[in-house]
Amino acid sequence: MMLIGILWAGLAPVSLVLAAALVAWLLKREGVKRAVPLAIAAVAIPVAFFWLLDRSEFVGLCELEGKPVISRHATADGIFLNSGTSNSFGMRYLNAEGFRWVEAPSIYKRDAWVRYERAANGTVMTTDIPALSARYEVREDFIQPYGHTALSRTQVIDRATGEVLARAGSATFDGGRTRYVLGAWGIRSCPSVMDSPSAFDDYYHLAKKTLR
């Protein structure tokens, strides 16, 4: 099934070629002149219309949520990582972002907290802690504002005042109503690591650029 999905993602537009060929054949049977260009238009125009219509919602969301904004810088050795992936992908805050320790919800105990800290030998130590001590929270959440667009948001928050020091978002558009005929060719993302590497870097390293 996974192989079929991968093949479909790459070859889905072939279905449009087949549809246009079928329409052209039907038009020729009816004696219609310029059957081929008419068939191409009959297939391509509705697909382009719905793709652009859904994509416009995605673009609006990118303008609203996607641009990284740092309102104030601060300095912190550690953070409270409020994320569902704190014990997995969240380890990048220790490995690549330069923080000495990360506090997070325990994955084993409800309403409990742990601290992840890199030891001298490079291993990550996990210690139960009675309460959070980090001044700054890095909050990562995921929402689905549209059926065709998913948004991952990151905020850096001063826990003492509630002030949002920085925010950024990353959105992915799946092609909307044309996803099944465009496959991977209809997918878009913002910020794009290919089209806007600096913007993607600002999003991905938001906490580091705000607190380190």
Cβ-based neighbour number of residue 55 at 10 Å: 18
What would the DSSP string read from start to end of the chain? -HHHHHHHHHHTTHHHHHHHHHHHHHHHHTT-TTHHHHHHHHHHHHHHHHHHHHHHHHHHHIIIIIS-EE------SEEEEE-TTTTTGGGHHHHTS--SEEEEE-SSSTT-EEEEEE-TTSPEEEEEESS---SEEEEEEEEEEETTEEEEEEEEEETTT--EEEEEEEEEE--GGGHHHHGGGG-EEES-TTT-HHHHHHHHTHHHHHH-
**pLDDT of amino acid 110:** 87
Name the pTM for this structure: 0.83
pLDDT along the chain (212 residues), means of 10: 60 88 90 91 95 97 91 96 90 92 92 90 88 96 95 96 96 95 92 85 94 90
**pLDDT of amino acid 4:** 59
Written in H, E and C, the secondary structure of 167-189 is EEEEEEECCHHHHHHHHHHHCEE
**pLDDT of amino acid 212:** 85
- The span from the CA of 206 to the CA of 170, in Å, is 12
Q: Are 154 and 167 in contact (CB under 8 A)?
A: yes
**pLDDT of amino acid 6:** 62
Q: Where in the chain are the domains?
A: 1-76+135-212
**pLDDT of amino acid 188:** 94
User: What contacts 186, CB < 8 A, 6 or more positions away?
Assistant: 51, 173, 174, 175, 176, 178, 179
Q: Are 125 and 94 in contact (CB under 8 A)?
A: no
**pLDDT of amino acid 49:** 97
**pLDDT of amino acid 3:** 58
